[in-house]
A and B are shown apart, each in its own frame.
Chain A
């Protein structure tokens, strides 16, 4: 039973346009969410996070939106650059077990020059 879902295995976007990566979760206890980016042959690296007390967090070209009622979050990358091509993992945790972070299956983003 997948608690964190990323229903799009892959996404292609033109350079300069917006990339929107979606993530859904089923566990209502989750209250902290993170996005990680992974290049081939490397470990994932932390990108951005959001607490459930917020509905938006922005860091440069990256913005994460959280819709708690829909149990949905999304990562927006504007403008997309070829170097953004990677696999993006959505992850979630609950304050009751904050050390256990559940990762989604990932979405492979290709930014076409």
Chain B
């Protein structure tokens, strides 16, 4: 079966432009997560979805960042007016969410964003 996929794999954009990053989770996974990993740093939690709802947006760094999920499937992370500090690998993960338990997350390969 297909794993988590992300597109594009690489994105180079000019400062000030908007970018959209896409994540296709594993079919049937109701939970979806976005993380950011800057060079030499760990995974920084951004946002997660239960179905199409985002109960916790506390990790979004600024109001330039937004995310949505539709059909309990694909999710899009949008960064408006990109800044150089937004350069990072953006990782998406999905997991089962059938009850009050932490399930292992399956990660996509990431999108490497470079803001010039």
Asked if residues B102 and A102 are in contact (CB atoms below 8 Å), the reply is no
Between A and B, how many residue pairs show CB distances below 8 Å?
A: 64
Q: Are B4 and A89 in contact (CB under 8 A)?
A: no
A4 to B84, CA, bound (A): 27
B102, A32: Cβ atoms under 8 Å? Answer: yes
Q: Once the chains bind, are A34 and B109 in contact (CB under 8 Å)?
A: no
By the criterion CB–CB under 8 Å, are A103 and B4 in contact?
Answer: no
Contact present for B108 and A49 (CB under 8 Å): no
Q: How many B residues touch A, CB cutoff 8 Å?
A: 25
Cβ–Cβ contact B45 & A102, under 8 A: yes
**Chain A residues within 8 Å of chain B by Cβ, number:** 24
A46 and B102 in contact (CB under 8 A), knowing A41-B109, A102-B45? Answer: no
Residue in A43, A49, A98 whose CB lies within 8 Å of B110: A43
Residues of chain B having any CB pair with chain A under 8 Å: 4, 31, 33, 35, 41-43, 45, 48, 50, 55-56, 91, 93, 97, 100-102, 104-110
A residues apposed to B, CB below 8 Å: 6, 32, 34, 36, 41-46, 49, 89, 93, 95, 97-106
